[in-house]
């Protein structure tokens, strides 16, 4: 199966976890990687570093849009201290249009596109080349459509980072693509835990990097306190596996339960949410998942990527 990954790797550590899973998942060909909201190619540099750790520099990488279409700014920060990246990582900028060309090449190969960051690159492609996104399946991490399960953090659309970073781009993609949406509230059930660290540290340099970053993320975001205040979370929570779940859905993982929902985007001030509406566009949506099966498959895939 051919996959194209569009990512904002370098912010939340789950992007690197998702990339590692794709590298080790059986019968998957990662035909291209583009980076979204990537000032000066910093994120592309981090992607290249992860690929080097796995011995996979054969995969084409292109740095994409530097700023949000909506705000014309680069939202959030990109941690670069030694707790996340033990050695300096050089940026890898690309010429203008390189990311769109790589996306187009992947689409021509029939690759499924997995967007695990803001949809800026995909929206720019659709604006520049109308109809492109309708040619292949697109799986989008993001699009809050309902409340989380009881016992999980009561996060709503404002915590939907990928969508809120570039609401204009999300609306373009939702209106144009063969879309599968992976809502934030469903992915809150999948966790990176301290209990997983021994297996990650045994999975070669890439697994060790994931372990290092997961621990740093937990410390910086006070995940232990979050876990103490929500009974649906494990005591040793390090992070949520938002992006890994989206990639597993794109791969046709059997533990994902999907349904079709007619959704309409609603912009409430600066916040974009998606509502069920009989006049809305039919959209495949992740409704439930087998969390235990996902975790084991993720760990096995990361080990395969790190020790390949």
Q: Give the pLDDT confidence of 37-54 residue by residue, as tens digits.
A: 999 999 999 999 999 999
Residue 308 has pLDDT above 70, yes or no: no
Of the pLDDT bands very low, low, confident and very high (cuts 50, 70, 90), residue 215 is very high
Given this model, what pLDDT does residue 81 score? 87
Percent of the chain with pLDDT over 70: 100
Q: What's the CA gap between 127 and 272, in Å, rounded?
A: 20
Of the pLDDT bands very low, low, confident and very high (cuts 50, 70, 90), residue 76 is confident
Decide: helix, strand or coil at residue 288: strand
Given this model, what pLDDT does residue 74 score? 86
249 within 8 A of 142, measured Cβ to Cβ: no
Of 277-281, 287-291, 304-308, the range with the lowest mean pLDDT is: 304-308
The residues, any chain, with a CB within 8 Å of residue 268's CB and separated by 6 or more, are none
pTM over 0.85: yes
Per the prediction, the chain carries an average pLDDT of 96
Bridge partners (DSSP) of residue 283 are 261
Which tens digit of pLDDT belongs to each residue from 237-257?
A: 999 999 999 999 999 999 999
43 within 8 A of 35, measured Cβ to Cβ: yes
H or E, element range at 289: strand 281-289
Residue 160 has pLDDT above 90, yes or no: yes
Residue 88 has pLDDT above 70, yes or no: yes
Q: What are the DSSP calls for 162-194, one per residue? A: HHHHTHHHHHHHHHHSEEEEE-HHHHTT-EEEG
Residue 282 has pLDDT above 70, yes or no: yes
SS3 content of the chain, % helix, strand, coil (to 5): 40, 20, 35
Give mean pLDDT, residues 254-282.
95
Q: What's the CA gap between 87 and 71, in Å, rounded?
A: 32
């Amino acid at each position: 199966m051919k996959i194209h990954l569009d990512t904002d790797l370098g912010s939340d550590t789950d992007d690197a976890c998702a990339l590692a899973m794709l590298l080790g998942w059986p019968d998957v060909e990662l035909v291209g990687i583009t980076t979204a909201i990537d000032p000066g190619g910093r994120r592309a540099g981090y992607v290249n570093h992860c690929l080097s750790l796995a011995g996979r520099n054969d995969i084409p990488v292109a740095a994409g849009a530097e700023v949000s279409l909506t705000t014309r700014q680069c939202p959030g920060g990109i941690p670069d201290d030694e707790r996340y990246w033990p050695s300096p990582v050089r940026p890898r900028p690309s010429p203008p249009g390189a990311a769109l060309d790589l996306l187009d090449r992947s689409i021509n190969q029939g690759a499924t596109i997995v967007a695990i960051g803001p949809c800026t690159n995909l929206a720019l492609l659709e604006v520049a080349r109308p109809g492109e996104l309708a040619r292949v399946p697109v799986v989008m991490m993001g699009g809050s459509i309902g409340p989380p399960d009881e016992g999980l953090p009561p996060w709503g659309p404002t915590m939907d980072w990928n969508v809120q970073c570039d609401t204009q781009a999300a609306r373009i993609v939702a209106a144009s693509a063969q879309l599968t949406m992976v809502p934030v509230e469903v992915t809150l059930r999948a966790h990176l835990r301290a209990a997983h660290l021994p297996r990650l540290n045994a999975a070669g340099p890439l697994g060790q990097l994931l372990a290092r970053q997961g621990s740093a993320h937990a410390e910086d975001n006070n995940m232990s306190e979050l876990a103490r205040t929500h009974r649906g979370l494990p005591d040793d929570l390090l992070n949520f596996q938002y992006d890994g779940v989206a990639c597993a859905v794109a791969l046709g993982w059997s533990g994902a339960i999907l349904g079709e929902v007619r959704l309409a985007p609603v912009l409430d001030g600066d916040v974009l949410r998606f509502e069920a509406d009989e006049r809305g566009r039919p959209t495949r949506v992740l409704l439930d998942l087998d969390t235990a099966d996902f975790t084991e498959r993720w760990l096995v895939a990361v080990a395969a990527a790190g020790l390949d």
